[in-house]
């Protein structure tokens, strides 16, 4: 456990060093402003399962260390019947979300991703993952992953989380 923790910390620091985000954050701010009322939402969760709990390989969407999950907080839909960008059968995507930027070491690009939740069933309970690169507290909801993103759904019950690529982040 300790060595895995160390591995994760090292991995997170490496990722942070490799990623330049100032311009991405500016773009993101504009994007969120454009999104107007669709501020960030919810998903609870405190800080359990870090990457240290993820057994699959880092390049697997079922791994907490998968590059798209750099600030995800919840259960990975990939482990719950969905994929990293699709909700499990019988659930409903959250129409509101918050947006982050993750670095893909596979192609060296930064991507803007949307952290949606899948809603309408109780929590999946599989592959919990809590990563928080550039995550901010609740007073900055556009960067917060503690809120329940399902809050505005007809059924606000949280099931799992996805990370959907919106596009390449401009430098």
Considering only CA atoms, give the Rg of the chain. 15
Token pair, residue 132, equals 């928080």
| Nearer of residues 110 and 146 to other proteins, judged by Cβ | 146
Q: Are 43 and 161 in contact (CB under 8 A)?
A: yes
Site for other proteins in 83-142 (CB under 8 A): 96, 120-123, 125, 128, 130-141
Q: Is 155 in the site for other proteins (CB under 8 A)?
A: yes
Element (H, E) at 7: helix 2-18
Among the listed residues 26, 29, 30, 44, the single contact to other proteins using CB under 8 A: 44
Q: How many residues does the chain have?
A: 171
Tokens 């192609």 belong to which residue? 107
Among the listed residues 71, 72, 127, 160, the single contact to other proteins using CB under 8 A: 71
The residue ranges that bind other proteins (CB under 8 A) are: 1-2, 5, 9, 12-13, 16, 37-42, 44-48, 50, 70-71, 73, 96, 120-123, 125, 128, 130-141, 146-148, 151-152, 155-158
């Amino acid at each position: 456990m300790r060595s895995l923790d160390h591995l994760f910390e090292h991995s997170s620091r490496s990722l942070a060093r490799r990623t330049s985000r100032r311009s991405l954050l500016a773009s993101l701010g504009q994007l969120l402003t454009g999104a107007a009322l669709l501020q960030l939402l919810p998903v609870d969760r405190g800080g359990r399962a870090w990457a240290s709990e993820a057994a699959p390989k880092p390049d697997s969407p079922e791994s907490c260390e998968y590059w798209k999950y750099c600030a995800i907080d919840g259960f990975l839909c990939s482990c719950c019947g969905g994929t990293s960008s699709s909700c499990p059968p019988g659930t409903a995507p959250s129409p509101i979300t918050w947006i982050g930027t993750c670095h893909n070491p596979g192609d060296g690009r930064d991507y803007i991703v949307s952290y949606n939740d899948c809603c309408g069933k109780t929590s999946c309970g599989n592959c919990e993952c809590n990563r928080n690169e550039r995550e901010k507290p609740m007073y900055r909801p556009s960067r917060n992953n503690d809120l329940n993103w399902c809050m505005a759904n007809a059924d606000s019950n949280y099931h799992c989380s996805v990370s959907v690529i919106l596009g390449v982040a401009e430098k």
